[in-house]
Copies of this chain bind each other. A is one copy, B any other.
């Protein structure tokens, strides 16, 4: 018998688990020459994409992880000189973070490699399939967001 839509959702969930592991592994490999890991690269990205220098809870919210998880990576990135804290005028204990010169250079180098990679991959996919995948993944994300409250 043909798979039901429910079966397909199960299959997608399993694919997400598998692909997540592969992407992390690949990202670690990929960012190693730049002295990064998948986790730090994502944090750098969250800071680089923000309009204003964010504080830790804001970074955590955009990444969808807890602020404690971001805290660990941020402190390491500061130690490595890729990210710098600046005093937050509106909250004495919660500094805002921005990329250092070195952080910007590192992030940009990794970004360019990633872009080349996605452009190579893109040839094998149809735009409509990609749009459908985005629709499905974001919808699943929102459904689960609705029932399990977001991280504290």
What residues make up the interface of A, taking CB atoms closer than 8 Å to B? 4-13, 15-23, 25-26, 29, 42, 63-65, 114-115, 118-119, 121-122, 124-125, 127-141, 143-145, 147-148, 151
Contacts and interface: CB of A to CB of B under 8 A. Distances in A.
Closest 6 CB pairs of A and B: A132-B132, A5-B122, A20-B20, A6-B118, A15-B137, A133-B136
**Integer count of this chain's copies in the complex:** 2
Given A18-B64, A22-B148, A6 B122 contact: yes
A132 B128 contact: yes
A115 B9 CA distance: 10
Given A16-B137, A42-B17, A26 B144 contact: yes
A22 B144 contact: yes
Nearest to A17: B20
A118 B118 CA distance: 31
A5 B130 contact: yes
Given A10-B114, A124-B139, 12 more contacts: A8-B130, A9-B125, A12-B130, A12-B133, A17-B42, A23-B144, A26-B147, A124-B143, A125-B139, A129-B132, A132-B133, A133-B133
